[in-house]
Every structure is written in structure tokens, then in C-alpha cells.
Amino acid sequence: CHGECRMSVVEVIAESPVLTCRVRVTDEGPMYPLDDADTARALGGDMENSLADEVRNLYRDTVSLGLDEKEVKRARAYGGGTGSLGSYDDDDEMPMILGGPALDRLTPATLAYYVASRFDSVDEKLVVLELPTVAERLGRVRDVLGGVSGYLRAERALKDAFPDADKGEKGE
């Protein structure tokens, strides 16, 4: 299961000459986008699917609040930076980094990892990785996105209320 599954250390057997442990493998389903959203939903439980829906909506909201038109164009031209999660040839399909339809094809477990991978803070990424269940990881990701979304909404409201404030900072 080298790099393809999640596991936890149950017991340390030896520390020298190499660390040897007994591990428990956790089956969370495939860690790649599936062919369709219905298959991805079938692999999650009710609570996980509900949290995943919240995370998808918050992610899309946060991305739309945080990017200006120039950044959206650059991300589309770059292919969305989807890396190992695939690239999309259809010009009408928004890249996953922008919250496009491909986000719906991720299982709840994979969605939590993908969105957490977009966080700037390494510490926050590690917190998400260390949580033992898919529901806990999705809950943490939802909470982080909710905070970021709230911040971006407040920032946008201030910019709308004081449009000349940015010009003074940039020396224009």
C-alpha cells in the first residue's frame, strides 16, 4: 500500500537499526477522481456526503471571492494546477482549482485531502492529515474555509465601501 492508502501505527516493534511497526490500514476508497459524481457519493456515508457538499460549496465560494479576473484567466490557461488529479481538455469545464465540476467526482476522503492541499499553512495541512476520520477531516476543512470565506467577504465589503483606499496604498 506504498503511498496509496492511509494507515496508523498500532505498535512500535523495533527502533533500531530501522523503525519497525505494526500498522493498521484504513480503507477510505480510491484516492483519485472517479468517472462520475454518483460513484463518488456512493463511496461516502450520509454524514460524509453532507460535509463534502458543504466543503465543495465553501471551496467554490472561497475561490470566487479570492480570485480576480486576471487570476482566473491565468489559472484556466495553466490548466488549473490540478497536477496528479488530472487535467481537463473540455474548455467549458472549469479546472478543479477553481472549483469546477471535477470537484464533484472526488470521494469525500479525497476531497478533504485535495482542499487541505490548497491551504497555505503547512501546520493546518498537518492538522487535517492527522485527524483519524473522513468526517473529522471534512469538518476541519469546512471550518477553515468558513473562516477564510468570512475574511474575504469582509475584505471585499471594505473595498466596495472604500474604493479609493487601495489606490493610496499602492502610491497611484
pLDDT over 80 at 95, yes or no: no
Asked if 132 and 8 touch (Cβ cutoff 8 Å), the reply is: yes
Mean pLDDT, to the nearest integer, of 150-168? 83
What's the rounded Cα separation, in Å, for the pair 127 and 141? 10
Residue 32: CB atoms within 10 A of its CB come to 13
CA 150 to chain centre: 17
Mean pLDDT, to the nearest integer, of 97-103? 69
> What is the structure's pLDDT at 53?
92
Mean pLDDT, to the nearest integer, of 153-160? 88
Task: List pLDDT tens digits, range 9-53.
Answer: 899 999 999 999 998 887 666 555 555 566 666 666 788 888 999
What's the rounded Cα separation, in Å, for the pair 44 and 62? 24
